[in-house]
Amino acid sequence: MQVRLNPSDKRSFVFYYLIKKYTPHDVVLDKEKKDIDVDVLESIFENTPVKSLLGKICSFSDVNLKEAVLQYKKEADALRDVYFSLLYADGTLLKAMKTDKASSGLTDENEHIADVLRVLCDLAKNNGIIEEYKNEMKPKETCRFPPEPSGYLHLGHVKAALLNNSMADRLIVRFDDTNQEKGSDLYEKIILEDLELLELKEHRLSRTSDHYKTIMVCAQYLINEGLAYCDNTEQEQMNKERMDGIESAKRNTKPADNMKIFHKMMELGDTEKPVDTSEFEHYCVRAKISVDDKNKALRDPVIFRLKDKKHGRTNSRLSPTYDFACPIVDSTEGVTTVLRTNEFRDRNAQYFWFLRMLKMRTPIIKDFSRLNFENTILSKRKLRTIIEEHGLTWDDPRIPTIRGIMRLGLNINVLKEYITMQGMRQKNTVNSWDKIWAMNKKYLERMCKRYSGVKQDRCVKICFVDDKGEPVEPLEATLTIPYNKKDSSMGQRTVYTKSMVISKEDAEQLADNEEFTLMHVGNVVVKSRQPDAILVMNNPDGDVKTTVNKITWVSLEGALNINLAIYSDLVIDGRFNTESKNIIQIYAEKSVEDVKYGEVIQFERIGFCRRDYKSGDFIMVPYTEQKRKVLNKN
């Protein structure tokens, strides 16, 4: 059970202390909470020694507090805690007792008050509940992260979420569901799942629509005060007037007439779909701020309009705009600091105007630079256009959503570290991807198992022969090798050695009679070539440190046919990159079948790859592909 106490009541510490010490209940300090009644207290302290003392606690006053302490009996431990918490809550008496003024004139019969003083001092120094209470009483930063449930979270959202999370003592995740034509419960579910990956602190979940009645009352207040008006100017004409600083013909309509129109709009909001015959369908409500302010955000912005369909939670087609609803809900929910990107800085004056006119508490606003990456779109609207036009999905590895970037192999811890490094900087810059992917590679190198893979395209067989050119089998049928030479705790795997193949690129690097290293096997010498094979002789005494070429191989015995997807930039010069996805086929050693979906591994001398849960293929992690060096054979 969660017990709410009003911190403005000086006895809140008394109940806070006793509830924390004697019950399993949680306590929250809430300025809006009224006094809790005795029945609730009895329920809270059921089966505790405090229950029988509730009458004393509730009847104590400043006048009889000292007298009550003098009646203290040290054998009653629970009563000692009651007296202690009462004394600690009374600042004047506490100060007096600490200087021993309160005990002056006590008779020998009352010497046990010294016990109370000693207990008070000891508990005040050593009791964790006191520190906990002090922390609760400190001013708290309350921040909110308000995603619109109309798509997946992208990297820009991640920055906003993590900055709010780091600053807030109390965090609110609020779904901005003002636009019922875009939002959906499905996206809410997806966003909450994505936020779990970010491991935000404990937070409260809310929706803008939870405050619909409050927002409606605020709109009516502005209309009645002559601070808002109803306008049926055509959209195109309204936009032109705003740009040119021209007053709307409806701007000076009387408040009473505006209120009548608004009531008609409210009635239409109850209908399932637009009523084409009603002239009031074409009205919106505009704040009466300015006609020609240099800041165009102040030029009588729209604050309410009728939508084509009802909102699923408010059951009305009449909906507030985000710019109007946001400051009202921020103030209502107790937000103290609003963090948002500096692209909204021009709207700050509008935000403050609404709260000033409504006489509501005003949070402070702190802004930060928008997150930008080269050849990357971080606009949900533009991303939706590309997704719809090119048959992609929100979790496509080319799309910079949390899910897309994780499918591409970016570790969530690396993402969080990178975003934290960005901080609250103001300067807008376009970041290169190489920094974050370099951090990711460094992380993966410690965490990933190694496997062998060879590109299938015109791969070349390795055939062992003796010094006479006769076929031989110098190797054991299987080898046991570590998953990662640098971390033995990852264990070992078994690989086959029959029917070896290497890549065409590697084969082309080998000269006649060259000694090279077959990784995990040892040195061999090129004896001769065939169109699709290289004949080699084993050299078990060769030194791997002396060879130039160290080559990966795969046994075709039990080999897996793997699709390896390689993605590149989603857009180039602002246009969709039609060559942003390429597939190559590789042969992979048989043990790769044990790789779990979502796991990242390294195909040695190819790159780090993630096994995709959706397609079953492997996806190359960006900036980890290893290029073959072309060696000068002369």
**3-state SS record for 246-273:** CCCCCCCCCHHHHHHHHHHHHHHHCCCC
pLDDT at 106: 43
Q: What is the mean pLDDT of residues 143-160?
A: 95
On whether residue 280 sits in a domain, the answer given is yes
- What does the mean pLDDT of the chain come to? 88
Report whether pLDDT(5) > 50: yes
DSSP string covering 390-456 = HT--TT-TTS-BHHHHHHTT--HHHHHHHHHHHTT------B-THHHHHHHHHHHHHH--EE-EEE-
Hey, what are 176's tokens?
């901005």
pLDDT bin (cut points 50, 70, 90) of residue 102 is: very low
Q: pLDDT category, 127, cuts 50, 70, 90?
A: low
The Cα 432–Cα 439 span in angstroms is 13
Question: Residue 109's pLDDT is what?
Answer: 47
Binning pLDDT at 50, 70 and 90, where does residue 427 land? confident
Band (87; pLDDT cuts 50, 70, 90) = low
Q: What are phi and psi of 527, to 5 degrees?
A: -100, -40
Asked, for residue 515, whether it belongs to a domain, the answer is no
Confidence of residue 75 (pLDDT cuts 50, 70, 90): very low
Per-residue pLDDT at 1? 66
Q: Is the pLDDT of residue 194 over 90?
A: yes
Q: How far apart are CA 171 and CA 155, in angstroms?
A: 19
The pair of structure tokens assigned to 634 is 């002369």
pLDDT in tens, 343-355: 999 999 999 999 9
pLDDT in tens, 483-523: 999 999 999 999 999 999 999 999 999 999 999 999 999 99
- Whether residue 229 sits in one domain with residue 131: no
Instruction: Give start and end residues of each alpha helix (H) in 199-254.
Output: 212-224, 235-244
**pLDDT score recorded for residue 172:** 96
Flag whether 454 is in a domain. Answer: no
Q: Is the pLDDT of residue 287 over 90?
A: yes
The arithmetic mean of pLDDT across residues 466-480, rounded, is 92
Looking at the fold, whether 233 and 106 belong to one and the same domain comes out as: no
Q: The domain that contains 234 carries what CATH number? A: 3.90.800.10
| Average pLDDT over every residue of 587-614 | 96
Same domain, 6 and 132: yes
Residue 96 clears pLDDT 70, i.e. is over it:
no
Could you report the per-residue pLDDT of 567-590, keeping only the tens digit for each? 999 999 889 999 999 999 999 999
Chain segment 236-267, per-residue pLDDT in tens: 999 999 999 999 999 999 999 999 999 999 99
Pair (23, 115) in one structural domain: yes
Asked if residue 131 is part of any domain, the answer here is: yes
Confidence (pTM)? 0.75
365-382 average pLDDT score? 93
Q: How would residue 91 be classed by pLDDT, with cut points 50, 70 and 90?
A: low
Mean pLDDT of 517-543: 95
133 and 12 fall within a common domain: yes
**Average pLDDT in the 204-210 region?**
96
What are the respective helix, strand and coil percentages of the chain, to the nearest 5?
40, 20, 40
Q: Higher confidence at residue 181 or residue 18?
A: 181
Mark whether 321 and 222 lie in a shared domain. Answer: yes
Model confidence at 622: pLDDT above 50: yes
What is the percent of the chain with per-residue pLDDT over 90, rounded to a whole number? 71
Tell which of 325, 340, 367 closes a domain: 325
Mean pLDDT of 583-600: 96
What's the confidence (pLDDT) of residue 546? 95
- Same domain for 133 and 28, yes or no, is yes
Residues shown for the chain: 634
In this structure, is residue 499 part of a structural domain? no
8 and 109 co-located in one domain = yes
Which position has the higher pLDDT, 118 or 374?
Answer: 374
| 122 lies in the same domain as 220 | no
Total of domains in the chain: 2
pLDDT recorded at residue 3: 77
SS3 285: strand
What's the domain range around 92? Answer: 2-137
- Closest by CA position to 456, among listed 584, 582, 590, 616: 584
Q: Could you read off the pLDDT of 291-330 as tens digits, one per residue?
A: 999 999 999 999 999 999 999 999 999 999 999 999 999 9
Is there a domain that residue 315 lies in? Answer: yes
Q: Which of 73, 102, 137 is the last residue of a domain?
A: 137
Least confident of 39-53, 212-226, 262-276, 447-461: 39-53
Quick one: pLDDT band at residue 40, thresholds 50, 70, 90?
confident
d(CA 406, CA 155): 11
**223 and 317 both lie in a single domain:** yes
Of 325, 358, 387, the position where a domain reaches its end is 325
Question: What's the Cα-to-Cα distance from 139 to each of 130, 143, 170, 335, rounded to whole Å?
Answer: 16, 13, 11, 12
Distance between CA atoms of residues 306 and 492, nearest Å: 65
For residue 26, is it within any domain? Answer: yes
Report how far residue 53's alpha carbon sits from residue 80's, in angstroms, rounded to the nearest whole number.
11
Whether residue 331 is contained in a domain is answered as no
CA atoms in the 13 A half-sphere facing the CB of 280:
17
